[in-house]
Amino acid sequence: MHNNRSQQRPNSPHRINVLSAVDDAVLGRLVNITSGGLMFLAPKTYERGTILSLRIPLPTMANGKTAVEADGLVIWTQPDDNPRFQRIGIQFPSLGAEEGYLIETVLQRLHLVG
């Protein structure tokens, strides 16, 4: 499940909500992210294979942008240690070059990648 990643994802020290790009509803709290995918904690579970339209606010501006929007594919779910939450694993099947650049730029600025 987690060990199939091509990139390591350090946990974010920032409290960032993962939002629906459709209606800005809070889907959960970001745990970690790379240009390949993310994990978030959600108060509900999502079926594997579900595509979510996501908006991820950036903790620092990059290229004049304050958020990244992308479709995310739910590839796994599992209960969190806190029974009120589920861990949701997301893959970005078609992340645009600009969005990937924004994520990597922010990760480097915040010293979350080597």
pLDDT over 90 at 13, yes or no: no
CB atoms within 10 A of CB 40: 24
User: When comparing pLDDT for 42 and 58, which is higher?
Assistant: 42
pLDDT over 50 at 5, yes or no: no
Mean pLDDT, range 29-52, rounded to an integer: 94
57 forms beta bridges with 67
In the CATH scheme, what is the homologous superfamily, with its name and number, of domain 2-109?
predicted glycosyltransferase like domains (2.40.10.220)
Intra-chain end-to-end CA distance of the chain, in Å: 23
Task: Return the structure tokens found at 87.
Answer: 């861990």
Identify the CA nearest to 71 among candidates 88, 92, 57.
92
Strand pairing category for 17-20 and 51-62? antiparallel
Mean pLDDT, range 92-113, rounded to an integer: 82
Mean pLDDT, range 8-23, rounded to an integer: 76
Confidence at 84, pLDDT banded by 50, 70, 90: very high
Q: Is this model's pTM higher than 0.85 or not?
A: no
CB atoms within 10 A of CB 85: 17
